[in-house]
Chain A
Amino acid sequence: MASDDDPASSSDLEASASAAAAAAAAAEEEEEEEEEEEDAAAEEEESETAEEAEYYFSDNDDAAEETVLDVLADGGEEECHWSVSSVRVITKESLLAAQREDLRKVMELLALREQHARTLLIHYRWDVERIFELLEVKGRERLFLEAGVSAIENKGRVLSSSPCPITCNVCFDEVPPSRVSEMDCGHCFCNECWTEHFIIKINDGQSRRITCMAPKCNAVCDEAIVRYLVSARHPEIADRFDRFLLESYIEDNNKVKWCPSVPHCGNAIRVKGDICCEVACACGIQFCFSCLSEAHSPCSCLMWELWIKKCQDESETVNWITVNTKHCPKCHKPVEKNGGCNLVACLCGQAFCWLCGGATGRDHTWSSISGHSCGRFKEDQEKRTEQARRNLYRYMHYHNRYKAHIDSLKQETNLKETIQGKISISENKESKIKDYSWVTNGLNRLFWSRRVLAYSYPFAFYMFGDELFKDEMTPQEREMKQNLFEDQQQQLEANVERLSSYLEKDFQDFSDDLVMDTMSRVINLSNVVDRLCKQMYQCIENDLLYPLRTTHNIAPYKSKGLEKPSEVSICWDSCQSSRSTRTCQEDRCPTSESTANGVAEKTVLGKRSEAQLQGSSSSNNGGYSSSSSSSSRKRDKIDARTGPTFDLNMPP
């Protein structure tokens, strides 16, 4: 959209001149109540929409400016939100550190050795909270028994000191006690047999749960013994065993998934709270954590799967087919006319009239078909072909708009470089305006909202189509909801285009006043667009998806875009890991002394980590992205609290 044609710009000129003055003055008035201005802005917009239904543009400049300055001043606080981020990248190097936290919690609260904690965590899919829940319900004994942890130490018997040979119950050979190993469950067999057993289980992909060889014994074998015995014969299998154990944290964990990048970047992503979300990997790829395909919110995973399939099946040929074919009245396949008269025969044998698409007999001349007259209106056939055509048009309508926005997104990504150039020119100019972060922020807002807009089309295609929810809404209900949704979508679309047009302006050649004007508009529009996105999500989650019988979860709207997650750093929990390594070192040598200390240690550690747990959970609740409950209403509240956006990241 060209700025000159903009109907709003001329009327807003006066207001924006005052905006510049306000900006300078407002520097002292940073400590304004945010809520107040938000309310003011909202009120203003309501009156605005009444007058100017086409645009959702607020020219309450004072309020907008203050918001902007507040945000600029609060840059430090924004940083804080980032560190609370619940999404983390796990690399090959940090995989061990990533599980330390969970291992440590379990080890401390249950006074377990590291390997037992791991067995427990693997069995309960690394769900620490569930383990503690079940501890309450089932009690310690049963919890351990089911997971295959032998908490009862049978180390009292000292095998190696007894001189008489022992009969191994697997190979039936008599072996000296030095060549026998005993597991925590108390069963002992000869080392040869154990090794054979371990190798077969590891090769069978059961590394994470190698149970004891005794019949009906559910105990999981001591990983240290497995490692020791197997590495003596096949070091490479022992390495594989270690890797399997380590990767269990990713494979057997609902909250961690491999990054779906191809070729694989080697990373995994961990989320906290609701796993229905979208994440970005350190390698740059953005994906839906639930279905691992590209980020597609506000489409649900099912919608997106159907849409992708439909697009692959139809998009390339769809245009050609509509232009060049007619549907056979019998088999409904598209038929192309490859020459001849207007009597066309489909491969299925049905003849039909090319003019009207109606079924006919085969007798014909160049000018007429016997017993057939196109002049007569035949409702039935007409209806059927009409239906097919309508379905196709409907799909094309949504697909074209989806594609248009995706294409715009691609073009606008190129804009980033151009704009960087403009910014550097402007910054070197003689001017009192030095901060051009509003341009990049506006640009990021544009990318993010453009993306939301693009994916809202496939969403609408399924939401208001017959394929998924035909029986869940009456036609009237559907029409009403569609109007509601499309109204929001339209407003968003108009404002996204406006934002785009302002960002394309050559602001480096502008006078200071004009730059201030553009700046206030970009900032304003960014806020409006953000709010509209939120509202559209609210509409989708609460008015459209919530009343449905089938659950369709969508990843929540993230005002800031997809956060580039920080890595699980080894130093991040170094203080904790050092302690836990110390604990496990102590545990590694199972002397009678350490077991005697076990009880006393347990209570101390237990108290401490309980406090830690509470601490971490409360900080979680305050954090920005802890939308742990799937309730969309709750989500909105949390999002609403986070204020205007700044650190948007680029789409891939």
Chain B
Amino acid sequence: MLDVSRVQKELAECNRDQAISGVGIALCDGGSDLSHLTGTISGPVATPYEGGTFRIDIRLPGGYPFEPPKMQFITKVWHPNISSQNGAICLDILKDQWSPALTLKTALLSVQALLSSPEPDDPQDAVVAQQYLRDHQTFIATARYWTETFAKRISVDIEEKVQKLVEMGFPEDLVRSTLKSVNGDENMALEKLCSS
């Protein structure tokens, strides 16, 4: 009994100004299930997350929008309020402060705001929070390293790999689909391409 028309309106509304807001929502894996979406947020400027693109798994319960959406980072991120293990987000509006008048876009914007202003006193990840409070320099460095490693590689590396494989003489669309099927592993993709 998901309110389909509302979700569709939200998707259209959100993706209209994705370039400006820095948040976007798409159906998960190009499927047709409106209750399972993937959101993307760009790392806020002047934070260790700058330049990264973070993917968030969104699941809409049957009672949406009267019940809050379930959101979880897919991209690994080093942040006091986000689990470094499973990407769970500690954010009040995703729990008891959810209001039916909020939207997925506003929720994602809140997550983005959370990235720029962590609340270490109410942590999801105690290890990260302790580091944030006691050794801020290391925290910044780790967060930046994680952004470089996890939030950039997919978008940057994939293009390089595609280019490499295309130069080897494989057609581009085949290269892309093969890379996707092996989760971006260049060697396995090459093997697969050669054997096909």
Contact = CB atoms under 8 A, between A and B. Distances in A.
Contact of B99 (A171, A173, A196, A215): A215
A138 to B, nearest CB: 22
Nearest to B67: A200
A193 B99 contact: no
Nearest to B99: A215
A419 interface: no
A214 B106 CA distance: 13
A26 B180 CA distance: 109
Contacts of B101: 169-170, 189, 213-215
Contacts of B63: 196, 200
B99 A216 contact: yes
Given A171-B3, A196-B66, A200-B63, A213 B9 contact: no
A465 B106 CA distance: 62
A193 B99 CA distance: 12
B102 A171 contact: no
Contacts of B171: none
Contacts of A214: 99, 101
A213 B101 CA distance: 6
Contacts of A196: 63, 66, 100
Interface string A200-229: 100000000000011111000000000000
A170 B65 contact: yes
A197 interface: yes
A172 interface: yes
B6 A172 contact: yes
Interface in A165-190: 169-173, 189
Nearest to A187: B101
B5 interface: yes
Contact of A213 (B6, B67, B97, B99): B99
Contacts of A193: 66, 100
Nearest to A204: B67
Contact of B100 (A170, A173, A216): A170
Contacts of A171: 3, 5-6
A372 to B, nearest CB: 57
Interface residues of B, number: 16
B111 to A, nearest CB: 15
Contacts of B5: 171-173
A169 B99 CA distance: 11
Contacts of A169: 101
A215 B102 contact: yes
Size band of the A side of the interface? Answer: 10 to 19
Contacts of B100: 170, 189, 193, 196-197, 213
Interface of A: prevailing SS: loop
Contacts of B106: 215
A236 to B, nearest CB: 19
Contacts of B65: 170
Nearest to B63: A200
A548 B52 CA distance: 61
Interface string B90-128: 000100010111100010000000000000000000000
B99 A217 contact: yes
A324 to B, nearest CB: 53
Nearest to A213: B100
A335 to B, nearest CB: 48
A170 B102 CA distance: 8
A172 B9 contact: yes
Nearest to A201: B66
Nearest to A203: B63
Contacts of A172: 5-6, 9-10
A197 B100 CA distance: 8
A216 B93 CA distance: 9
Contacts of A189: 100-101
**Residue among B6, B9, B67, B93 with the most chain A CB within 10 A?**
B6
A172 B101 CA distance: 9
A215 B93 CA distance: 9
Nearest to B102: A215
Contact of B66 (A173, A197, A215, A217): A197
Contacts of B93: 215
A218 to B, nearest CB: 10
Nearest to A168: B101
A169 B9 CA distance: 12
A274 to B, nearest CB: 35
B85 to A, nearest CB: 29
Contacts of A197: 66, 100
A172 B6 CA distance: 7
Nearest to A195: B66
Contacts of B67: 200
A172 B10 CA distance: 9
A118 to B, nearest CB: 22
Nearest to B13: A172
Nearest to A199: B66
Interface string B1-30: 001011001100000000000000000000
Contacts of A213: 99-101
A341 to B, nearest CB: 60
Given A170-B101, A193-B100, A200 B6 contact: no
A639 to B, nearest CB: 47
B141 to A, nearest CB: 35
A579 B143 CA distance: 66
A196 B66 CA distance: 7
Given A170-B6, A200-B67, 10 more contacts: A170-B65, A171-B6, A172-B5, A189-B100, A196-B63, A196-B66, A213-B100, A213-B101, A215-B106, A217-B99
13 contacts: A170-B65, A170-B100, A171-B5, A171-B6, A172-B9, A189-B100, A193-B66, A193-B100, A213-B100, A213-B101, A215-B93, A215-B99, A215-B102
Interface of A: 169-173, 189, 193, 196-197, 200, 213-217
- Closest 5 pairs (CB-CB, A-B): A215-B99, A200-B66, A170-B100, A213-B100, A169-B101
